[in-house]
Structure 1
Amino acid sequence: MPKTASDRLIVALDLPDVAAARDMVAALGDAVSFYKIGMELAYGGGLALVEEFSRAGKQIFVDLKLHDIGNTVEKATAQIAKLGARFLTVHALPQTLAAAKRGSEGSTLQVLGVTVMTSYDDADLAACGYRLNVCDLVALRARQARDAGIAGLILSPEELVSTRALVGQSLLLVTPGVRPAGAALGDQKRVATPSEAFARGADHIVVGRPILAAPDPRAAARAIQAEIAQARS
């Protein structure tokens, strides 16, 4: 389990290219130890940074939300494991979870299942054809992820309390949709502040724009870590 506020804050490198990512990591320096590489950066050459940043002592979360036939997910997961990433996301569907679990075997990679995107609400799920609301669908996927034996879940702050009660300490709970008080919500719908997220049971939070777009990203990261430390004390 993570021990420090730096371990618990994951900064999302939602940036267009490798140069911008390197510049941001340099600017943040030793203030941040954990980074997320998502689709935008990955498709801009960012997967090469997984090994580079890992060698520099950073922890890396590869956020690709894999979902395909089992054989493809299994082999893709095994490839990500070779890079030295700590976390990889897949969609929290039973076949996909099982395939990713197989692909991660023998490595230190931890698979996280994405429950319901934080930009979705009940109306969005209904429009997609789901009969369950957000809370019920997250609970279903949490049970399936626990049964699949993966490491943890991606979920919004709103489902943290109920999910922690359901799974106990058997799964890591990692939440995006975290915004410091007064920050713009952007395209997020189910959000909380850092202190609220940890009070509800989060193990890690993922923060991008409030740090990347800050006049002083390092100071912004330090302020969030201070809030985490206070929430955990």
Structure 2
Amino acid sequence: MSGPRVIVALDFADAAAALAFASRVAPAQCRLKVGVELFTAAGPDVVANLVSRGFDVFLDLKYHDIPTTVARACAQAASLGVWMMNVHTLGGKKMLQAARESIDRLAHRPLLIGVTLLTSHGEGDVAELGFEHGAELQVERLAGLAQVSGMDGVVCSPQEAAALRRRFGKDFLLVTPGVRPPGSDTDDQQRIRTPAEAVTDGADYLVIGRPITRAPNPMAVLESINREIQVH
């Protein structure tokens, strides 16, 4: 694993705002995440623009559909030059394997990871969804499904990172939203950790949005986080 470990979530409503932010940070300091709001508003062009600026882009669309549809979507996403993309593990083994096979046939092979449970889900939400054994066990089961289906890793809460690292080893990527620098608002996240705690627990990449994007000096915040996690 090389390059920046911080992935900044571009939670903006339009391309102009996202690109204005991108001009204030550097590819050497962070990677960037394009999610469903920005992609719906701005489409593939904003991804291509960010890639052309030298940024590694994580396309966070959480594909979840029939296997053929997801496979084709993944191939289209890969053609944009993204560094990483994700699919939802609840789509099942056939869907995950179809996504894997579609990427493996391409000259440009992005990292492909599986979403387990959203970090906005607390134990009450997990029970409401019909999962009987709690968030941690459900995440571990879905991560196991992702691994046997050929995913490069999973998205998980930093609270689950330590257990997943012990079970799945050092080569299985753990991408953790729900990371907040000390003193930051939790916003809509429930299962959170600081950057240092997340890395200590085994996270490879940290997804951080508003504490950076809303900061008066985003580069200063990035530099502080990068210093914090370098010693862990």
> Does TM, normalized by the shorter one, top 0.5?
yes
Judging by fraction of residues, say which structure has more helix.
Answer: 1
Partner of 1:137: 138
Q: d(CA) in 2 for partners of 1:171 and 1:30?
A: 24
SS in 2 for 1:178: coil
Task: Letter of the 1:126 partner, please give it.
Answer: A
Q: Are the counterparts in 2 of residues 31 and 222 from structure 1 also a CA contact under 8 Å?
A: no
Range 49-58 or range 116-125, more displaced: 49-58
Distance 1:141 1:30, change over 3 A: closer
Write out aligned runs for 1:85-96 (5 A): 85-93=82-90, 94-96=93-95
Q: d(CA) in 1 for partners of 2:151 and 2:188?
A: 28
SS in 1 for 2:171: coil
**Structure 2 residue 156 is the aligned partner of structure 1 residue 192:** no
Q: d(CA) in 1 for partners of 2:117 and 2:52?
A: 32
Write out aligned runs for 1:74-93 (5 A): 74-93=71-90
**Structure 2 residue 122 is the aligned partner of structure 1 residue 125:** no
Q: d(CA) in 2 for partners of 1:100 and 1:223?
A: 37
Deviation at 1:153, TM superposition (A): 0.4
Give unmatched runs, 5+ long, in structure 2.
none
Deviation at 1:20, TM superposition (A): 0.4
Range 96-105 or range 37-46, more displaced: 96-105
Deviation at 1:103, TM superposition (A): 2.0
TM-score by length of 2: 0.94
Between the two proteins, the alignment pairs up a number of residues equal to: 228
Distance 1:160 1:153, change over 3 A: same
Q: d(CA) in 1 for partners of 2:103 and 2:11?
A: 25
Partner of 1:98: 97
Distance 1:71 1:201, change over 3 A: same
Q: Are the counterparts in 2 of residues 33 and 57 from structure 1 also a CA contact under 8 Å?
A: no
Partner of 1:12: 9
Distance 1:134 1:27, change over 3 A: same
**Structure 2 residue 18 is the aligned partner of structure 1 residue 21:** yes
TM-score by length of 1: 0.94
Deviation at 1:31, TM superposition (A): 5.7
Range 44-53 or range 146-155, more displaced: 44-53
Deviations 1:91-113 (A, max 9, x none): 11323311211221123211110
Q: d(CA) in 2 for partners of 1:221 and 1:193?
A: 13
Write out aligned runs for 1:46-61 (5 A): 46-61=43-58
Partner of 1:41: 38
Give unmatched runs, 5+ long, in structure 1.
none
Q: Are the counterparts in 2 of residues 31 and 221 from structure 1 also a CA contact under 8 Å?
A: no
Stretches (4+) displaced over 6 A? none
